[in-house]
Amino acid sequence: MPTSNTTGRESTHASTLRGGATKKSRAPDPESVQRFAETLRLRSLAAATQEEYLRFVRKLVSRHGGDPAALDEAAVRAHLLHLKDAHHYSPSSMRTAVAAMRAYYGLHLGRGWKLFDLVRSPSAQKLPAVLTRAEVARLFAVVREPRFRTLFRLIYACGLRIGDGARQRGDGHASRRGPQRSAGWFGWVPVQRAAQATTRSTWRCAICGCRAAC
């Protein structure tokens, strides 16, 4: 297994496995970066985190040359914009880059820059997958246990989350107001009469232990 140049240990990181850390000899790190590596070890960070932080700091070295400790806040700001706009870093990679810069300039060098509090890289909000009616019918068809099938139908009919459905109680379904949602949502949601009747019957059967509808 390849060995990390940062920690001297066997590494499973993708860049190391691709040979990125061993393909060609790298120039010695500037003194501040060497001390930064020691700071990361003193903080007992995970080996993979140490490698990532040092990798992002070394990008500064390769791009600007010399010791990155000599850069000012404006230069680091321009570097982060370069990663975002020119290299199209993903939100997660940008968050790692900012964390590395914060650790180097803030934790290690003690610079109280406001830059790192300004950068935001939220992940894109993806719409949840929506099943077609045919797919929902196939899902219900493979659920053999009536109580589980009823629960899934209730979740589907009322738009509940899995946790909300799992917390439903039989006495809650007996109410005309319908099933109850968790805190942070409206307390009650409407339920169709047919779904309400099926749910009541299933709950009664679960209590008495019968298989037929009560």
* Domain 14-118 sits in CATH 1.20.120.1200: no
CB 138 within 8 A of CB 168: no
Average pLDDT over residues 81-88: 94
pLDDT band at 57 (very low <50, low <70, confident <90, very high): very high
Q: What angle do CA 31, 66, 104 make, to 5 degrees?
A: 55
Delimit the CATH 1.10.150.130 region(s) of the chain.
14-118
131, pLDDT greater than 70: yes
Structure confidence at residue 168 (pLDDT): 66
Q: Cα-flanking dihedrals φ and ψ of residue 132, to 5°?
A: -75, 170
Please tell me the predicted confidence (pLDDT) of residue 184: 44
